[in-house]
Amino acid sequence: MVSSSLVPHTHYGPVTALKFIPNTEFLIAGYGPFIKIFNYKTGDSIPLSKTHEDVKIFEKNKIHGIVISKPHSSSEPTNVNVLFYGGRSVSVLNFQTDILHGSSNNRLSVHETACNDWVISGDFHYADPKSIYLLTAHNIVIDASIVGDNLGGLQVNGSYNCNEKSILYSGSFTVLNDEVYVFSGTVMSGIYVWKLGRATTSGEVLHHLTGHEGSIFGIKSNDDATLAVSCSDDRSIKIWDLKTGNNIATGWGHGARIWYLEFFNLSTQVMSCSEDLTIRIWDFDIENGELECKKVIEGHSGKNVWAGAVNQQQLIGASGGNDGKIRLIDLDTTGDDTHELSVEYLTSLNYGKSVNFAKNETIKTVISGSPEGSNNDDLLIITSYCKIFHVSQNYSQVKLLNFSHELLQQKTITETMHFVNNFFAVSHIENDEWSIMVLTASSGYQLFVTLDGSLNVKDVTEFSILDLVDSPFSKITGVFPISKTPNFTYFLFESPNPNDPFIFIKYDVIKLQYLTESLTLLEKPKTRFTLTAYDYDETYGYLILGSRFVTMTVYDLHSKTTTNVLSPLQTWKKFLPGDTISQIKVVKALTESLLVWISLRDGTYLTLEISRNLNSGDQEDVIIQGFENLSLTNQTSNLKIDICQQNRVSKGGFLEGCIETKSSFQVGDRYIDDSTNILLYGFKSDYFYLYNETKGYEVWTELCGGSHRMWKLVYPKKQITDDLNQFRFYYVKASMLVIKNMVILPAHKFAKDLLVEGTHGREIRDIAISTTAKSVNNDNSVIYKLLATGSEDNTIKISKLLLNTNDHACQIKNYWTQRLHVSGLQSLKFLNDQYLISSAAREEFFIWKINDGTLGDDSKLYVHCYDTLVPSVAGNPDLRIMDFDYLPIYDNNNNNNTVERSLQGFFLCLVYSNSFIKVFYYDLVNKKFHLMVDDYYKDICILTIKFVVHSQKIHMVIGATDGFLTVYDVPVPAGLQMQNGNDGAALVGEYHHSDGAAAAKLGRPVITQQIHQNGIKTMCVSNRSESIDIVTGGDDNALGLFTLTFDNNGTITSGTIKAFSEDAASSTITSISPVSTSQFLVTSVDQVVRIWNTVDGLHLVDAKYVTIADTGSSDTTTFEDVAGNKIAVGAIGGVGLSVWKINND
């Protein structure tokens, strides 16, 4: 018999403790009982073992605190002692320099010591790194020494108390050369400040600090113990003068409990972390007794930022949340790169002539120097009356722009444009070393001003675009440049008159002239159309325009005739629920289609695949109304669109657009360079935000006053990496031009602001792993399978479970977080590598389509909701689809390999919390659910469902809250037959469902057998040649093995409880996942993961404690390394996500 043993590998759970090692580049993070070490400057994870497994410090308790032995020099230490404490556990480890730098083959020597009470805080003696103080929950300080050469244990030397035996919630030490101060935060009695006696076990109470309400969650002093900062259940932060015991400042701002506080920058500032997911930086004015929130950072998701740390030397902060993320923060607020230019300042300078702003004159736009250039602080400010100011020398020098050119006869731009018309538009064409500013009057008159890299004028040309248009044209109110190549730019002109066409023309930026033969007049769609977004693809010649009410139109410029007039090739109106299209961006031209990014101002974003419809009738100006029948209208339209990606931004507010950046990540000893991040930007309330949608954190915010103002985001147009320091944000507020340089990643401090991407910030309800392994880099050095996780916050994360086939290191890389579910997510299952199904409360049942490198030559991962099942009872929040199972349906091409068949649909069974059982045939091609069976079990909740297939027959097994296992026969639909392929059982053939056919009933159960005293929470099926084993887990903590036997025709002959273990766990069994046909991974709420063998009964093979709280879900899979060895991996979810290797002996 082959047995399996469990080895924890990678843990993605709540970050419970953080600590910088002084005078080094290293950060230690506590993840439950595990630790990870990072070089924060490079962003790399330091391997603490050859197999890249996390090092476990405690057997069960979580690490709540990390303390470093006192440094007595400013140089990097050769080794440091590190104290870990949490619960009743204590451990001291010695970190040598070669281990920290990853150059040692030695493993850390870990020894856990149990204390007789809960440890609240700890610290080292001032001059002795082998002696420690421990503060316990009953306000007792234990003085202990570390014994043994390898720090193998603790010897208690004595204890101290201050005669105040209050129960503590928090506490800290300040150890000075001659004094040891203790800060005790009690549950109900405020804060006690006391110091340890020198010749007695009694401590002297210095202050009893009162003023907070509720429990004290944090209390710390500054380095010299002159000030203390505290927080409590009342959400306030208070600063105390430790000489007088007076509260000298109070700060408010956090919306929930505060878990971490720290002084920094010579006690003039405070960093705090909270349950409300924010990190706040506070300025403390000791003279005026004020504590003001200087900066708010939202860097986590879900709930709770548990841990924080401050590097006092480098002024770097770190935060760790319930989502497992570790965020680095530059705490140096003195270098805030902000510049402000007022209208009064611009008009007060001496230009050799009087310059005044008209009453209604405003700053219309700005043109900045190239973000990549050395003169990137050069700036042109253009007003609504066409005054142009040239700002240079780090915004200190300003001049009014004049042109020395015979065309203008030494006149200023202001005078010339006033001659034509007061209204104008400003466009900017950028190149590597120069650019062109285009000023356009409503009459069509244009000035093309060539600028060098410092925005000095090199040349000026003029043109009137309406001279090229024969028909009457009202006026121009919009000018939109589209730059695709360095030598050419396209211009699109818009008129407010719906009868005037768009003007589309190509411009040669080298010769500074229009190519008149390219002039095309584009008739507007026969619907209200105000241009709000646009882009052009030269490969297909598609000009894509967006408007209000989610209206989009496409022109085929390659089909232009000699008449130079084009009608829209296709228009879609209200093709999605939403408002204005704020951005259209061509992503990539594929072999037969075009990928396009669409942003909607209400927060929805999507990627569309636009392709020619081979069945079209070549009708022009076709308008498709609504999205409900889009798949049907696609059959006769000129173009068809398929959604590849659709989601909503979590930030809310107004979404203005997206930017793609490139980054790399590490899997063991391999670096992967093809990771893409999606940065979304827009406005929420009075803030402008830049949000990393891929990694799920806020990159940057600015309190600008909202979107109703002039604003401009400038960034490099070439490939962007994670270095966002070249981003710049301009906006006008109260007649002031504000210029913000985004110094997000100070290169001299750290290279990445996110060390760990983490996972959900709430409990993970279900996990699913796809079946097929794929290669990341074509050499199979790193392979992956798709991983889907569903959370208590109703989000679904689509990730990759990656394996380094050389060193077997595992890692999870997140790609998308889908936010369509609104209530009670219950179950997730991959149907194959392209389809995923999720079910939830309110009868939510979503089919997700996943394109993983399947869109032509595009290798990105896209996810969208392909279809939904309409609820049978509208608006019932209590009706949940508890579970479902499926069988794939393929066409009949006489090939046993289902991979080569065409997938036609699915045979689905859904079980509900109101005891209903529904069987559907889902037509994948026509996107229709056909109800085949509608039945009722009994007046209880059904918890789980499995299809069982044997000898061409289908059976349904359900488990419910009554503890019974019930088996039904399910007739094979006419026209279909069962067949076992490479991917298991499937239905093959052609099924035609009559829409008017009534739903059938299941009939009487074949078998009804009580197995558990309470509900059957989970079950797993194992097919054998003549029987089927069903392993069940229940609320009664028991594990059952139920066997179905069959005759030669596939008819069930008996059902027998083959084995039953009533004490299989000490609490509810929550999930069972197969490791092999006879071995199963079993999780339970008691946080123990077990391997059971079902050969000749139920036999426990291995059991290990898992640090994941509320353990409720799991899935297993098998990889194959470069040598052909099978590597079994299990993913376990709860409050966090843990990856385990399952070794077969």
CB under 8 A, 24+ apart: contacts of 392-399? 392/454, 392/455, 395/339, 395/341, 395/739, 398/341, 398/345, 398/346, 398/349, 399/349, 399/351
Q: Give the amino acid at 950.
A: H
The SS3 assignment for 633 reads helix
CA distance 923 to 937: 26
Task: Give yes or no for a contact between 742 and 371, defined as CB atoms under 8 angstroms apart.
Answer: no
The DSSP 8-state label assigned to residue 468 in this structure reads G
Write the CB contacts of 1019 (distance below 8 Å, at least 6 apart in sequence).
944, 946, 957, 959, 965, 1030, 1031, 1032, 1033, 1072
| pLDDT value of position 808 | 85
Name residue, tokens 């008449």: 563
> How do 119-124 and 203-209 pair as beta strands?
unpaired
Structure tokens at 926: 């026509």
Max intra-chain CA distance, the chain:
104
Tell me the β-bridge partners of 441: 424
The SS3 assignment for 343 reads helix
Confidence of residue 407 (pLDDT cuts 50, 70, 90): very low
- Using left for φ > 0, alpha for ψ between -120 and 50, and beta otherwise, residue 561 falls in beta
Instruction: List alpha helices for 387-510, DSSP H.
Output: 413-420
- Residue 152: Cβ within 10 Å count: 13
Main-chain phi, psi angles of 781, to 5 degrees:
-70, -30
HEC secondary structure over 249-310? EEECCCCCCEEEEEEECCCCEEEEEECCCEEEEEEEECCCCEEEEEEEEECCCCCCEEEEEE
The SS3 assignment for 1118 reads strand
**Tens of pLDDT, residues 469-526:** 887 788 888 999 998 888 899 999 999 999 999 999 999 998 999 999 999 999 999 8
Write the CB contacts of 1132 (distance below 8 Å, at least 6 apart in sequence).
767, 1083, 1089, 1106, 1108, 1111, 1113, 1114, 1138, 1139, 1140
End-to-end CA distance of the chain, in Å?
9
| pLDDT value of position 819 | 92
Confidence of residue 626 (pLDDT cuts 50, 70, 90): low
Our CA angle for 604, 605, 611, nearest 5°, is: 130
Write the CB contacts of 33 (distance below 8 Å, at least 6 apart in sequence).
56, 57, 58, 59, 60, 61, 62, 63, 86, 1107
**Tens of pLDDT, residues 703-761:** 999 999 999 998 877 656 655 667 889 999 988 999 998 877 777 788 888 999 999 99
Of 385, 392, 508, which Cα lies nearest the Cα of 450? Answer: 508
Of 769, 780, 759, which Cα lies nearest the Cα of 1075? Answer: 769
Of 707, 708, 689, which Cα lies nearest the Cα of 699? Answer: 689
Our CA angle for 269, 275, 276, nearest 5°, is: 85
Q: Give the amino acid at 113.
A: T
**Tens of pLDDT, residues 889-906:** 988 765 555 445 688 999
Structure tokens at 824: 């009670």
Write the CB contacts of 994 (distance below 8 Å, at least 6 apart in sequence).
none
Tell me the β-bridge partners of 814: 799
Q: Of 25-39, 122-136, 387-401, 407-421, where does mean pLDDT reach its minimum?
A: 407-421
pLDDT at position 1 over 60: no
**Tens of pLDDT, residues 23-62:** 999 999 999 999 999 999 998 888 877 656 778 899 999 9
| pLDDT value of position 651 | 76
How much is the average pLDDT of 264-270? 95
| pLDDT value of position 591 | 86
> How do 551-556 and 565-566 pair as beta strands?
unpaired
Topology of domain 760-874, CATH = Methylamine Dehydrogenase; Chain H (2.130.10)
| pLDDT value of position 169 | 96
Task: Give yes or no for a contact between 217 and 169, defined as CB atoms under 8 angstroms apart.
Answer: yes
Of 1059, 1057, 1140, which Cα lies nearest the Cα of 1102? Answer: 1140
| pLDDT value of position 410 | 45
Task: Give yes or no for a contact between 529 and 553, defined as CB atoms under 8 angstroms apart.
Answer: yes
| pLDDT value of position 409 | 44
CA distance 175 to 205: 16
Residue boundaries of the structural domains of the chain: 337-522, 658-742, 760-874
Write the CB contacts of 101 (distance below 8 Å, at least 6 apart in sequence).
46
| pLDDT value of position 713 | 93
Structure tokens at 385: 């009356």
CA distance 201 to 296: 44
Task: Give yes or no for a contact between 915 and 936, defined as CB atoms under 8 angstroms apart.
Answer: yes
Confidence of residue 670 (pLDDT cuts 50, 70, 90): confident
**Tens of pLDDT, residues 832-852:** 999 999 999 999 999 999 998
How much is the average pLDDT of 984-1002? 82
| pLDDT value of position 1097 | 93
- Using left for φ > 0, alpha for ψ between -120 and 50, and beta otherwise, residue 794 falls in left
CA distance 1035 to 1039: 10
Confidence of residue 631 (pLDDT cuts 50, 70, 90): very low
Of 500, 398, 485, which Cα lies nearest the Cα of 444? Answer: 500
Model pTM? Answer: 0.91
**Tens of pLDDT, residues 329-379:** 999 877 667 889 988 888 888 776 778 888 888 889 999 876 554 446 789
CA distance 210 to 789: 45
* More confident of the two residues 9 and 223: 223
How much is the average pLDDT of 398-423? 55
Q: Give the amino acid at 1076.
A: S
| pLDDT value of position 857 | 60
pLDDT at position 806 over 70: yes
What dihedral angle (degrees, nearest 10) is formed by the CA atoms of 68, 73, 75, 81?
-20
| pLDDT value of position 633 | 45
Task: Give yes or no for a contact between 1135 and 1110, defined as CB atoms under 8 angstroms apart.
Answer: yes
| pLDDT value of position 629 | 43
Confidence of residue 99 (pLDDT cuts 50, 70, 90): confident
Q: Of 454-458, 597-601, 1051-1055, where does mean pLDDT reach its minimum?
A: 454-458
Average pLDDT, the chain: 88
**Tens of pLDDT, residues 121-153:** 999 999 899 999 999 999 999 999 988 766 667
**Tens of pLDDT, residues 752-801:** 889 999 999 999 999 999 999 998 877 788 999 999 999 999 999 999 99
How much is the average pLDDT of 978-998? 77
Task: Give yes or no for a contact between 254 and 238, defined as CB atoms under 8 angstroms apart.
Answer: no
CA distance 440 to 656: 25
pLDDT at position 965 over 90: yes
Task: Give yes or no for a contact between 293 and 281, defined as CB atoms under 8 angstroms apart.
Answer: yes
pLDDT at position 2 over 60: no
